[in-house]
Structure 1
């Protein structure tokens, strides 16, 4: 006989007074997490928890959540999402969604097995670990570390050091001022308006870059399999080297292009007094170098 499954929602809100350096830790197996800047001296949490399963088990899980809500505070450390082990049921599933406001200087660490994460307007540092889900980060003043097994990552207005490790998914970065280190196993990368330092390694995927080149910049792009397209504004000053081991180079910049049995290369200096350097290499893929009209 088939048993009817039930899906029930519970919501809660908490306002936690904090002082000094605030540390926020969020953990959820299934569900989304959003953190943004809020007022000083308080961490505000809104939670929505869905429980699905047979009626009796759903009731037991909800009663346990009400007895032990997933919010814990020790001094200025706030932990959210550690659901008690008593909730484990063979026929019952729990999904938790959290919306959090924290002081701008809060240190944040988020771990999600399945769900999306959005972080906006914090100084950090910020550390994100996702097994499956998308990431959106914006207006982060401090250091940022993102590791995603499967999912897309979007970052805008990043001012500190940023490190990205993406196994499968696209990476889209815009308006970056700090140094960037990124490793992408499988996915496309789009870069715009970069800062002075870039180290990018892509196993399989295309790369597009459109940005002014800051004085003294050091940008290095390496791909095993994928095309690379770079567009620079006219008047850029930099030393550029591009090598395609198995592919062509389409170059509209005033560089020296050579092609032989070992591949193609483009080298030269743009502008006078160049202190920036751009290096591009592809094992299998084409390279396009050109001017950005706007």
Structure 2
């Protein structure tokens, strides 16, 4: 009886830790959303917009974004040039203190942001980037950002490599060879009409992947604290009381999908 009581006690403690962790993830997701909400009204603030066009130097556009704080939207459009629009927002002070640089560095379009610390908090300084890529071009994307969300949609891409400290990542309706996305705190959502290699990782946050049901994939999904849901016909393996893992192959297993979160749920859905 004593052993049974100890066992029940351990299970209750583990379940309590799990509930606390999942509630924490939900709190972070909701706060990340509020940080990057488009509804940013500054009563006494200032907004300054910078726009720049880049003539493509080849059929492959290389884009590198560094040190952004705010939001990045990258999308395809029917046009001939790469269009970049940057909106600098501050609640007080001057938006001119935020330094935005957009230029060609070799064959790469480099976008960098320098924001003084006193404008990050409590001034809530942000830069919203909208980047439009011609539909008939292929893009490589490389980002390293501190506190930023990123949305990528309707593109032809070769490699996408996203690395963020805090921020949500959303990728929709693109053609790509490989997607690598990593954030310390934030959710990752990838919805594809055609599958590709993926390596998605978040320390604290949820991961959702939607791919065609008939994709040839090899999936390895793991969550230390959180549930895993998969409606694809995969072989399953669950290890430990808290840690969960799903592994499996569909078809030839041509594409590799690795998903990992330390605290958060994982959903894999067929479309």
- Fold shared, TM-score > 0.5 on shorter chain: yes
Q: 1:257 corresponds to which residue?
A: 236
C-alpha distance after superposition, 1:208-259 (max 9, x if no partner)? 1100344xx4210011000001111121111111001111101111112333
Correspondence 1:133 to 2:127: yes
Counterpart-to-counterpart distance in 2, 1:162 and 1:188: 16
CA contact (8 A) 1:117 1:136 kept: no
In the TM superposition, what is the alpha-carbon distance from 1:286 to its structure 2 partner?
Answer: 0.5
2:14 maps to 1:34: no
* Higher fraction of strand: 1
Q: What is the alpha-carbon distance in structure 2 between the residues aligned to residue 158 and residue 228 of structure 1?
A: 29
Residue 204 of structure 1: which of 185, 188, 191 is its match? 185
Task: Report 1 or 2 for greater relative contact order, CA contacts < 8 Å, sequence distance ≥ 6.
Answer: 2
- Answer yes or no: is the 8 Å Cα contact 2:226–2:242 preserved in 1: no
Q: Which has the higher helix share?
A: 2
The 1:118–1:196 alpha-carbon spacing in structure 2 relative to 1, beyond 3 Å, is: same
Structure of higher CA gyration radius: 1
Query: 3-state DSSP class of the match of 1:250?
Result: strand
Conservation of the 8 A alpha-carbon contact between 2:209 and 2:267: yes
TM-score, normalisation: structure 2:
0.56
> Which residue among 175, 187, 190 is the counterpart of 2:167?
187
Alpha-carbon RMSD across the aligned residues, in angstroms, is: 3.3
Q: Which residue of 2 aligns with 1:233?
A: 212
> Scaled by the length of structure 1, what TM-score is found?
0.52
Structural mapping, 1:1-294, within 5 Å: 31-36=48-53, 114=98, 125-130=108-113, 131=115, 132-139=126-133, 159-174=138-153, 175-192=155-172, 193-214=174-195, 217-259=196-238, 260-271=240-251, 273-292=252-271
Contact 1:138 1:158 (8 Å CA) reproduced: no
Asked if structure 2 preserves the Cα contact closer than 8 Å seen for 1:245 and 1:283, the reply is yes
Deviation of 1:187 after TM superposition, in Å, equals 1.3
Q: Write out the 4+ residue segments of structure 1 that deviate beyond 4 Å after TM superposition.
A: 115-119
Cα separation, 1, equivalents of 2:258 and 2:102 = 32
Number of aligned residue pairs? 174
Contact 1:213–1:238 under 8 Å retained in 2: no
Return the offset for 1:117.
8.8
**C-alpha offsets along residues 139-195 of structure 1, whole Å, 9 cap, x if unaligned?**
16xxxxxxxxxxxxxxx8872321011211211011241201111111111112240
Instruction: Measure, in 2, the Cα distance between the counterparts of 1:135 and 1:116.
Output: 10
Unaligned 5+ runs, structure 2: 1-46, 56-79, 83-87, 89-95, 116-125
Q: Secondary structure at the match of 1:282?
A: strand
Residues 249 and 104 of structure 1, relative CA distance in 2, 3 Å threshold: closer
